[in-house]
Structure 1
Amino acid sequence: MNAVPRRVPAGLAGKLVTPGDRRYGALRSTYTRVGSPALVVPAESAGDVAQALAFAAEHRLHVSVRSGGHGLAGAATNDGGLVIDLGAMRGVRVLDREARIVRVEAGARWAEVAHALAAHGLAISSGDHGNVGVGGLATGGGIGWLVRSYGLTIDHVRAVEVVLADGSVVRADAGHEPDLLWVMRGAGSGTAIATAFEIEAVELGRIGYAEATVVVDSAGTALRRWAAMMAAAPRELSTAVNLSAQGSLAVASVNAVVASDSESVIRGALEPLASLGDTVLDQAYVLPYSQLLSTAQLHRHHGQMPVVTTNGLLTRMTSEAARGLVAAVTAPEPLLIQMRSLGGAVNDTDPAATAYPHRHQRTLVTATAFPPGDRETLSAAWKPLLPLTDGAYVNFESDPDEETFARTYPGATGARVAELRRRYDPDGVLRPRSR
């Protein structure tokens, strides 16, 4: 571990957290990784972020940035370096109610955002857990409960306030630094540090929500039916599926959200769930959207979930893909497979409009190995599925490397991302490093 520097800039006096500080235990780790940084800076402003970067450069400290700490790669902490923690920057404010423009600071958690916006009858589609931080999700993509009606979170980001690696504080929007806005919407991590966003929300109060359980045969028939159901579904319906083993059986747990408070719309969207196979409709509700991202989900991280995860996008749920997914969850060393529906509003956006170019795929498949499973377990089970995928999503990858970069940012998108990262961070200060 690097020695803690003795000389501290006046602007950071009293803000540096070291291993001997009582606050250190709550700030050292992420959801998936126990870290041992030399220093943590709980930033309260963009100015604090800029000073922390200058301090790290002066003392040759590796920099990690944390908004919520849910990133599966664990890159929001390190060993022996400096962590910039944005958790104190968590303001949520409606700037223009008529235009539905909301300012959200990067350290806010999405449960806090949902709760604050509920009072205004607004919502932002933003992942599926309230403890996830705004910054990582809103720079990587944002595949949330409302994804098919709303699109990705990044599709509605109208401006980003960032601190560049050289300490410059910049606002990027369509009229000023449009290249920076482009790369921050999909490839922001490793480019600059986002401190706040202006996001266009949607009018939304109550939603339909249902949970169903489906037994899946070895051919994955229910999975193909689910994919066909979603291809024909109204945009109001978004679903997420957890596929796991129950003894020798594969079981799919389906969570369905209907972005409407109309009982007829909700009923019409949910009725096809019964046709998936041997289905049990566990529960169905009409509830506030903010209840899905409850503040009860907020908690501290201490490396409690040391999983390894990878993912791929599917354009079609072929019979080969369905069989392969079932095989992965019923293997002697099984994976947990999660599937999230895409299409709808996601695919309305021009693939070149943001750094997330995947605008024709229908399903995101995420594969996770839990302890004692490891990277080798995951790789062996995922290998047959990889050739069937068509791209990847940056936020669900534990071990990003050149290969996963090429899948996430293919072709011209990847070339542009690389060029802009060189422009805005020529020394690679903010690039993730290997553990």
Structure 2
Amino acid sequence: MVMEIGIALDVSRLAHAPQETVALARLAEERGLDLVVVTDGTAQRTTGLDPWTAAVWLAGSTSRITIGAPAGGTSPPDPTDPEAPYPKVQAKAEDSLDILAPGRIISNPAGWVVAPPDAKPEDLAGAAESDLPVVVPVHSREDVERLAALVAGRDDRAGVRRRPAAVRAHRKPGIDYDGVPASLAETVVEPGDPPYRALSSTYLRGGGPGLVLRPRTPAEVSDAIGFARRHRHLPLGIRSAGHGISGRSTNRGGLVIDLGAMNTIEVVDPARRLVRTGPAATWKQVAAALAPHGWALGSGDYGGVGVGGLATAGGIGLLSRNHGLTIDHLRSVDLVLADGRQVQASREQHPELFWAVRGAGANFGIATSFEFEVDEVGEVGWAQLALVSTDIEQSLRRYGELASAAPRDTTVFLVTGQPRDGLSTVQLFAVVDNPDPDIVVARLTPFLELGMLARQQVVMTPYAGVMGSAADVGPDGQHGFGEPNSRSAFVPTLTPEFARDAAAMLRSGAVYFFELRAMGGAIADVAPDDTAFTHRTPAFQLAAMGQNDKRLTAVWEPLRRHFDGLYLSFETDRSPQRLLDAFPAPVLERLRALKRRYDPDNLFRDNFNIDPTGDPAAVQEARA
């Protein structure tokens, strides 16, 4: 057992010599001690040093040693006590200190054991049996040197990789931290580790997972799945780049398998335009790698999205009307199944699994590699237009007419939000897959009818220029917080009645983001039963987001009569009824049968769960 030893500094006794407090903490760090705990031996808080302030100062005055700073309780403050800490302010202070000194702070006094000032080595060893660091009150340099001599004599650290007490203090219940597979031990991240903050949240959702496993190879993915099987009582998130709207690639207190290290892009057969990508490569990176060859692969509308999530859901993008969905270009996928087996699914190998992965992949395994047949795509017209509409109902109706009637080389997405003073900002994002600038202008000009043109940017560029505007995710990770609230639907045709109801929803103020993605063209060329994504004929895909889920539901429900299905990538309502919107009953039953074959224990259940034991009839009845 590794015995960790530290010192306890009573700031009430050292208030007359505050610099001596700093000197003792620095000496403890120099001598190899593990922890400095700040305590206050008096109830008088109007004079002397405040323990929390002193702890912050000591953290800034040292570089390695863990700082113990009792932050007090989290119960509501006593209104009669002007000095009682307010929980939210206290929590913010703790979070701030953790940012400034990551992995070095213990704010819970249960994170250490206090021994008597005159404790002998055998006393310290007995106290350390709790697996907590032992701190001894000190008042002088001589006290610190005495403890340092004990540290110098210990030899139980050799060959042992042990996280400091500040990290162990953040561990969540129900997780076998010491049982992490050896293959993953080098890269695994716990809540107290410095990299944790960069890995805890996603693009839109704040999270606090209990453990982040970061495999680098398919074999390590198998090990991570094995660990997850031993923790089936916990949520399990699978993450490629962490952009997903549903936010299910993070959680609170559970496990996350982060595939961020698996982001390679490789041309495997130039003659056939076959390209292999890792799940964590972003579409911005893929587009940049394909551009020198004169190739492109349609991929949504934002380059920061990861390959893994989109390529197992559908991929409705700015090239889709001319080249089809992303999944239509998938030729094979390497998967690690719930039992840890590594398989390749294609039309020739595991064809049923290959069918399911293209539209419902999150339920059947972890994709570690994708092989796509990409398209020859030269320069395209890329337009970003902003217009001001005085009649959003009329603008929506006219957009529906123009976008549906446009040639298949033209894909136009519309984004708007709540009107202000009767005016709506309408943003159009369009790609014209044609290298002739005059044709590009001709294709786009009719859309200027939607409002008064306020801003325009139209350029000829390789597809990489379309994806290249996305921000790169830096070392500090994603910054989502709270819970996203989003709804999704397919609209068979954009009728005047839909335009009227959608305009009413926008005027309600419950929706801050509203997007219509034009479909049709090559999307409808593929038979509905070719993939688990069966919605091949709708004219548009709709997404709406709001701050409050209850309000969003209230304004969304009146529009349901216009819908036929939904796209799971933009849906946060995880009720069972939504599965039948995403997958018609015969498709859902086919998926359940495959789930019983490939994941009978329902390990992959946290992203719109296709329960292998579910009863489609019961779901249909609940939906009705």
In the superposition, the TM-score normalised over structure 1's length comes to 0.95
Amino acid at match of 1:399: D
Amino acid at match of 2:207: G
Show the counterpart of 1:64: 237
For structure 2, the 5+ residue unaligned runs are: 1-171, 610-624
Show the counterpart of 1:212: 385
Cα gap change, 1:424 to 1:350, in 2 (>3 Å): same
Q: Distance in 1 between matches of 2:376 and 2:456?
A: 28
Amino acid at match of 1:358: H
What is the aligned counterpart of 1:374 among 548, 567, 570?
A: 548
Q: Distance in 2 between matches of 1:20 and 1:191?
A: 32
Q: Distance in 1 between matches of 2:349 and 2:254?
A: 33
Aligned with 2:228: secondary structure? helix
Shift of 1:304: 4.2
Contact 1:112 1:295 in 2 (8 A): no
Shift of 1:302: 2.6
Q: Distance in 2 between matches of 1:62 and 1:248?
A: 45
Show the counterpart of 1:162: 335
What is the aligned counterpart of 1:395 among 565, 569, 576?
A: 569
- The answer to whether 1:237 aligns with 2:410 is yes
Q: Distance in 1 between matches of 2:264 and 2:364?
A: 23
Amino acid at match of 1:340: R
Contact 1:37 1:82 in 2 (8 A): yes
CA distances 1:323-375 after superposition (whole Å, capped 9, x unpaired) = 11111112143442100000000011100000111111001111110xxx211
What is the aligned counterpart of 1:31 among 174, 180, 203?
A: 203
Of residues 297-306 and 104-113 in structure 1, the stretch that sits farther from structure 2 once superposed is 297-306
Contact 1:4 1:38 in 2 (8 A): no
Show the counterpart of 1:144: 317
Greater length-normalized contact order (CA 8 Å, ≥ 6 residues apart): 1
Aligned with 1:246: secondary structure? coil
Q: Distance in 2 between matches of 1:8 and 1:213?
A: 51
Of residues 258-267 and 183-192 in structure 1, the stretch that sits farther from structure 2 once superposed is 258-267
Contact 2:237 2:249 in 1 (8 A): yes
- The answer to whether 1:86 aligns with 2:259 is yes
Q: Distance in 1 between matches of 2:239 and 2:313?
A: 14
Cα gap change, 1:224 to 1:51, in 2 (>3 Å): same
Of residues 31-40 and 152-161 in structure 1, the stretch that sits farther from structure 2 once superposed is 31-40
Show the counterpart of 1:313: 490
Contact 1:63 1:83 in 2 (8 A): yes
In the superposition, the TM-score normalised over structure 2's length comes to 0.67
Shift of 1:406: 0.5
Q: Distance in 2 between matches of 1:332 and 1:125?
A: 33
- The answer to whether 1:253 aligns with 2:427 is yes
Shift of 1:288: 2.2
Shift of 1:397: 0.4
Show the counterpart of 2:499: 322
Q: Distance in 2 between matches of 1:202 and 1:424?
A: 32
Q: Distance in 1 between matches of 2:563 and 2:335?
A: 33
Q: Which has the larger radius of gyration?
A: 2
Show the counterpart of 2:220: 48
Shift of 1:268: 2.7
Q: Distance in 2 between matches of 1:264 and 1:218?
A: 30
Contact 1:28 1:35 in 2 (8 A): yes
Contact 1:325 1:337 in 2 (8 A): no
Q: Distance in 2 between matches of 1:179 and 1:348?
A: 21
**Larger helix percent:** 2
Show the counterpart of 2:529: 352
Amino acid at match of 2:416: L
CA distances 1:200-249 after superposition (whole Å, capped 9, x unpaired) = 11111321022333444557222222111122211110111012223322
Amino acid at match of 2:433: A
Of residues 305-314 and 210-219 in structure 1, the stretch that sits farther from structure 2 once superposed is 210-219
Of residues 327-336 and 35-44 in structure 1, the stretch that sits farther from structure 2 once superposed is 327-336
Amino acid at match of 2:309: G
- The answer to whether 1:14 aligns with 2:191 is no
Of residues 302-311 and 324-333 in structure 1, the stretch that sits farther from structure 2 once superposed is 302-311
Aligned with 1:240: secondary structure? strand
Contact 2:274 2:374 in 1 (8 A): yes
For structure 1, the 5+ residue unaligned runs are: none
Show the counterpart of 2:112: none
**Larger strand percent:** 1
RMSD: 1.9
Shift of 1:191: 1.5
Q: Distance in 2 between matches of 1:282 and 1:267?
A: 12
CA distances 1:141-190 after superposition (whole Å, capped 9, x unpaired) = 00111111111101111101000000000000111000010000000012
Show the counterpart of 1:108: 281
Contact 2:318 2:411 in 1 (8 A): yes
Shift of 1:295: 6.7
Q: Distance in 2 between matches of 1:320 and 1:413?
A: 30
Q: Distance in 1 between matches of 2:209 and 2:581?
A: 31
Amino acid at match of 1:284: V
